[in-house]
């Protein structure tokens, strides 16, 4: 166990919390559930998990004070955030899934995946992620690994924010994004078996992608 590294996992009622806790523990790191913003003090790395509705989750983050607290620490450069699935989508400004705004930490919006022949929603299953060539040296995973997806909405954002994509029908959906202090993944590393644990371990113990 890496006793000197403690990962905060934000509890804002968006589900899948304890799957992430168990994955962090299986990756031989310490996980602490953060139930209120004051508990962020002293934490340099946190995970924003999420399964469920964008609007419900964004309202919960705002009303609980987590949105303001995370934004302040991010601006000060004192915290780094990994967003998983809905957690990644909440980094952005808005979503078609509801009227409530996102956290606005990154420019872009979340849109429902367009259906086409052969495309069934939600988009569920193991898919190989295509990392952007210029970003690959910074990615702490093997470029041919597959990860588990489960979503009906996808991020639309500037190309410079995109780390990886995943093919679906005639589209190429955003699978990972980054900005200073932020890394977001649309897939679920906590549900992706050995590749997911390797991703979590490597990312959480070295943060070159966040620069």
pTM: 0.91
Residue 151 designated active-site = no
Are 149 and 58 within 8 A, CB to CB? no
Provide the number of structural domains found in the chain.
1
Query: Looking at 123, 151, 157, 188, which residue is catalytic?
Result: 188
Query: Looking at 85, 94, 97, 123, which residue is catalytic?
Result: 85
Digit-coded pLDDT (tens) for 147-168: 999 999 999 999 999 999 999 9
Residue 157 designated active-site = no
DSSP bridge partners of 107: none
Structural domain including 51 reads 2-210
Residue 85 designated active-site = yes
pLDDT (average), residues 97-113: 95
Which CATH number goes with the domain that contains 87?
A: 3.40.50.880
Is a pLDDT exceeding 80 seen at residue 210?
no
Helix ranges (H only) for the chain are 17-26, 54-64, 66-76, 86-89, 193-205
Query: Looking at 67, 94, 97, 190, which residue is catalytic?
Result: 190
Please give the residue that has the higher pLDDT: either 135 or 62.
Answer: 62
């Amino acid at each position: 166990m890496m006793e000197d590294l403690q990962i905060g996992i934000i509890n804002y009622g968006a589900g899948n919390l304890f799957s992430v806790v168990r994955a962090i523990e299986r990756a031989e790191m310490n996980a602490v559930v953060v139930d209120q913003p004051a508990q962020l003090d002293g934490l340099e790395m946190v995970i924003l998990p999420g399964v469920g509705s964008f609007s419900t989750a964004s309202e919960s983050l705002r009303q609980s004070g987590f949105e303001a607290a995370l934004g302040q620490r991010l601006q000060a450069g004192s915290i780094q955030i990994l967003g998983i699935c809905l957690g990644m989508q909440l980094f952005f400004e808005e979503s078609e899934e509801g009227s409530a705004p996102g956290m606005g930490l990154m420019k872009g919006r979340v849109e429902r995946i367009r259906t086409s022949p052969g495309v069934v929603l939600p988009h569920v299953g193991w898919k190989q992620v295509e990392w952007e060539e210029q970003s690959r040296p910074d990615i702490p995973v093997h470029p041919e690994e597959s990860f588990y997806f489960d979503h009906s909405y996808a991020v639309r954002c500037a190309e410079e924010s995109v780390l990886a994509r995943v093919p679906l029908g005639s589209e190429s959906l955003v699978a990972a994004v980054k900005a200073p202090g932020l890394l977001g993944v649309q897939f679920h590393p906590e549900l992706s078996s050995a590749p997911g644990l390797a991703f979590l371990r490597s990312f959480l113990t070295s943060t070159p992608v966040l620069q």
